[in-house]
C-alpha cells in the first residue's frame, strides 16, 4: 500500500474581466478496493457562489461550480490524498470460457456492456480493425490476456508520445495513421481496436505517479493522464495504459471512467465574452508519495 498526494492547479487568464458560466470539475478519485480517498480539498478563485456535487451517469463524482462576479483570472486548485494498492494482473484471473479469444459475454452482462462494445468512430476501410487483427493468432488459440497485453505494448513501443496544445482527442484512425499522439489518443485507439474485436472497453481519466520525476521516462506526468479498461469475465475491468505499457493499476490513480473521452473532461466550463478575450491557460499536476520504496521503480 502506498500513500499518494496529488496537487492539481489550473489557471485561466483573460485580457479583460469576464463573467463565468458553470464549470464542471472531475478530480475526486473513485473509491474502490485498490484506492481509498483519505482527504480532498478544493480552492477556487474568485470565490464561487456555489459548489454542488453530483454523481454523473457513470458514477463519477463531479463538482458543479457557479460564479457571481467577473474576473481576469480563474484559478482551480485541488489537493487529494489517497491510499493506493498496486494490482498487477499479469496472470489475469479470467473465467475459463474467456481465457482464449474469441469468447462471448454472459447474456446477463451483455446488455450493460453494449454501449462499450459498439465502435464510436468512423473507419471506412476498417484500418483500425485490421490493425487489431494482427494480434489474433491464425490457426491456433489466442490467449485473451496475451492479445491485450501485446496490443498495449505495441502502442507503447510503436507510437510516439507528443503533447498537443489543442483540446480534444484525435480520432483513432488519425492516431493510427500518424503513429503519434497523447495519452488520450492512445487510450482511445486501444479502446476502438478492442471494440473491433467485440470486447468491451471504456476510457479512464486520472493521474500517474512518476518516480524520480526529472529522470523518469514515464509519460503523462505533470498533467492529467488517461488510459483504458477492458472488461474480461472473471477479472472485471482491467487497466491498460498503452502510453507507458502498463497492465494493471501500478502508479495509476483512477478519477473517472466513461464510454468516450468527451464524457470525461477533467475541467469544463464557459465564459461570457469573445474568443479574443482569452489570454492563456496553465496546468500543473504534482503527484508525490510518502513511501520511499515507490521511488525505486519507474
DSSP, res 212: S
Instruction: Look at residue 236 and tell me if it is in a domain.
Output: yes
Q: Which CATH number covers residue 124?
A: 3.10.620.30
Instruction: Look at residue 89 and tell me if it is in a domain.
Output: no
In this structure, the answer to whether residues 122 and 199 fall within a common structural domain is yes
When divided into structural domains, the chain yields a total of: 2
Query: CB atoms < 10 A from the CB of 191, how many?
Result: 30
Q: Which CATH number covers residue 278?
A: 2.60.40.2250
What pLDDT is attached to residue 112?
97
Q: Which residue has the higher pLDDT, 213 or 151?
A: 151
C-alpha span between 201 and 264 (Å, rounded): 14
pLDDT of residue 295 exceeding 80, the answer is no
CB 240 within 8 A of CB 229: yes
Question: In terms of residues, how long is the chain?
Answer: 298
Between 183-196 and 144-158, two packed helices, what is the crossing angle to 10 degrees? 150
Q: Which cell goes with 151?
A: 496490443
In this structure, the answer to whether residues 249 and 275 fall within a common structural domain is no
In this structure, the answer to whether residues 201 and 162 fall within a common structural domain is yes
Of the candidates 16, 20, 15, 7, which has an alpha carbon nearest to the alpha carbon of residue 74? Answer: 20
What's the domain range around 74?
2-84+265-296
The three-class DSSP label of residue 131 is helix
Q: Give 250-266 pLDDT, tens digit per residue.
A: 999 999 999 999 999 99
Q: How many Å from the N-terminal Cα to the C-terminal Cα in the chain?
A: 17
In this structure, the answer to whether residues 122 and 214 fall within a common structural domain is yes
Distance of CA 296 to the CA centre of its chain: 24
Q: Which cell goes with 69?
A: 462576479
Q: Give 61-71 pLDDT, tens digit per residue.
A: 999 999 999 99
In this structure, the answer to whether residues 163 and 49 fall within a common structural domain is no
Confidence of residue 293 (pLDDT cuts 50, 70, 90): low
Instruction: Look at residue 90 and tell me if it is in a domain.
Output: no
In this structure, the answer to whether residues 187 and 274 fall within a common structural domain is no
The mean pLDDT value for 226-240 works out to 95
> Model pTM?
0.92
Amino acid at each position: 500500500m502506498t500513500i499518494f498526494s496529488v496537487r492539481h492547479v489550473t489557471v485561466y487568464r483573460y485580457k479583460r474581466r469576464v463573467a463565468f458560466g458553470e464549470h464542471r470539475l472531475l478530480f475526486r478519485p473513485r473509491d474502490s478496493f485498490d484506492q481509498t480517498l483519505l482527504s480532498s480539498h478544493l480552492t477556487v478563485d474568485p470565490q464561487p457562489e456555489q459548489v454542488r456535487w453530483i454523481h454523473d451517469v457513470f458514477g463519477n463524482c463531479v463538482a458543479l461550480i457557479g460564479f457571481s462576479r467577473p474576473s481576469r483570472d480563474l484559478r482551480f486548485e485541488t489537493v487529494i490524498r489517497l491510499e493506493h494498492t498496486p494490482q498487477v494482473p499479469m496472470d489475469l484471473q479470467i473465467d475459463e470460457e474467456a481465457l482464449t479469444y474469441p469468447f462471448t459475454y454472459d447474456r446477463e452482462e451483455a446488455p450493460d456492456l453494449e454501449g462499450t462494445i459498439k465502435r464510436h468512430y468512423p473507419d471506412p476501410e476498417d484500418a483500425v480493425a485490421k490493425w487489431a487483427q494482427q494480434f489474433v493468432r491464425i490457426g491456433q488459440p489466442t490467449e485473451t490476456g496475451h492479445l491485450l497485453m501485446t496490443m498495449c505494448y505495441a502502442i507503447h513501443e510503436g507510437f510516439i508520445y507528443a503533447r498537443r496544445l489543442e483540446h480534444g482527442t484525435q480520432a483513432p484512425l488519425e492516431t493510427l495513421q500518424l503513429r503519434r499522439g497523447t495519452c488520450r489518443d492512445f487510450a482511445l485507439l486501444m479502446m476502438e481496436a478492442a471494440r473491433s474485436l467485440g470486447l468491451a472497453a471504456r476510457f479512464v481519466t486520472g493521474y500517474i505517479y512518476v518516480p524520480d520525476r526529472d529522470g523518469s521516462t514515464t509519460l503523462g506526468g505533470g498533467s492529467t493522464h488517461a488510459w483504458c479498461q477492458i472488461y474480461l469475465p472473471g477479472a472485471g475491468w482491467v487497466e491498460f495504459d498503452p502510453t507507458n505499457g502498463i497492465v494493471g493499476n501500478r502508479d495509476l490513480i483512477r478519477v473517472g471512467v466513461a464510454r468516450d473521452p468527451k464524457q470525461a473532461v477533467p475541467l469544463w466550463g464557459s465564459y461570457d465574452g469573445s474568443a479574443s478575450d482569452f489570454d492563456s491557460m496553465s496546468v500543473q499536476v504534482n503527484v508525490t508519495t510518502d513511501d520511499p520504496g515507490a521511488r525505486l521503480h519507474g
